[in-house]
Amino acid sequence: MLATALPLLVAGFVSWWATGIDDVLALGLVLKGQPAPLRRAVIVGNVLGVIVILLLASLIVAGVLTFAPSVLDTPILGIPLQRLAGLLPILIGARALYMIVRGEDNDDDDIPPISARRVAWAGALGFQIYVLNSTDDLVVHLGILATVASAPLAIMAYWGGVLIGELTSILASHWLAERMQTRRLLEIIAAVVVIIVGMLVLLGLFEQLG
């Protein structure tokens, strides 16, 4: 049981950090200099955003299994469709590397100011920081969850890894935001890790664990 859960826990943690560097930087910019009530509201909103995206990915995979259970096992060029889901993270990582090489930046660092009298709005801001920038996160989650959809323990372990990644990122957000010169290197490492995760899915590693 532990042998099944631990690798998926690690995969969840790694996949979060691989796709969440930009979220960490944005969150750090928002938290910096804000009073404690607003910081807590932003963090709660951000965590809720992570849970919503995880739920969405899980529901999509569960829906496919419910209404078309044989779809994931359908081979294309001799490779099961659930393994081909690994192509999605690979494409996401390759696109990120391409944009880094071209010097493009799709992150929104101009975070709107937070009023001390609007804690609820601060929570909504924390939510949108993650959700509005979560396309790559959703794609990676789908790619991995599709390979372990029939193993509830593996799914729970993956969820746990992602949530641990989110919690540790909150602790790291200030440190990263104050060292913007490390940003490009972090983005390159993250893109490479996403590609590696996609290759592991394509090779069926997570399917074997599930």
The per-residue pLDDT for range 56-115, each reduced to its tens digit, is: 888 887 776 555 555 555 666 666 655 666 676 677 678 778 877 887 555 444 444 545
Q: How far apart are CA 68 and CA 22, in angstroms?
A: 35
Q: Indicate the pLDDT class of residue 14, thresholds 50, 70 and 90.
A: confident
Overall number of domains in the chain: 1
Write out the H or E segment, with its range, that includes residue 185. Answer: helix 183-202
For residue 188, give its domain range. 2-209
Quote the CA–CA distance of 114 and 163 in Å, as a whole number.
25
Q: pLDDT of 114-125, one tens digit each?
A: 455 557 777 777
Quick one: average pLDDT of 176-196? 66
Residue 109: the pLDDT is: 47
Query: Which tops the pLDDT comparison, 45 or 142?
Result: 45
pLDDT, position 101: 80
Residues 39-56 have pLDDT tens digits of 788 888 889 988 988 888
Question: For residues 190 and 13, what is the distance between their CA atoms, to the nearest angstrom?
Answer: 12
Query: What does pLDDT average to over the chain?
Result: 72
Q: What is the pLDDT of residue 108?
A: 47
Specify the pLDDT at position 169: 85
24 burial class (0-12, 13-18, 19+ CB within 10 angstroms)?
buried
Helix (H) or strand (E) holding 79: strand 79-80
76 φ/ψ angles, rounded to the nearest 5 degrees: -125, 120
The pLDDT, as a whole number, for residue 163 is: 92
| Per-residue pLDDT at 153 exceeds 80 | yes
Higher pLDDT, 180 or 202: 202
Instruction: State how far the Cα of 5 lies from the Cα of 194, in Å rounded to an integer.
Output: 20
